[in-house]
A = this chain, B = another copy of it.
Amino acid sequence: MKFAILVNEDPFGHQAAQSALSFAQAVLASGHELVRVFFYMGGVYNANRLASPPMEDRNIVREWAELAAKDGVDLVICIAAGVARGVREANLAPGFRISGIGQLVEAAVIADRLITFGA
């Protein structure tokens, strides 16, 4: 089955991004297809290459990047939300790309299920 995921929140201020990441990993572990993860609003901070959480904490940005490298998951951040918040090509973490909200709509159309994680 085909999944798409929407992430609305910063990985530091709310658990939503962590939950989304764990869900994404479980989708792949279950042998399903993950069509795309779309990062909207504060979710674009998930793609900030400059983020460097404390050693004891899970490194969400890096784990997303690994998901892209290992499983080819398409990670897309919203361009308008990214520009507003200062997440751009120059500081984009590996594995992410920048595009418009149309990519969220397209993902929801292609996928059998859209799962939203937010505050």
Contact = CB atoms under 8 A, between A and B. Distances in A.
Q: Secondary structure of the A side of the interface?
A: loop
Nearest to A119: B13
Copies of this chain per assembly: 2
A81 B80 CA distance: 24
A84 interface: yes
A77 to B, nearest CB: 14
How many interface residues does chain A have, given as a range? Answer: 20 to 34
A90 B53 CA distance: 17
B86 A52 contact: yes
A96 to B, nearest CB: 14
B12 A48 contact: no
A54 B84 contact: yes
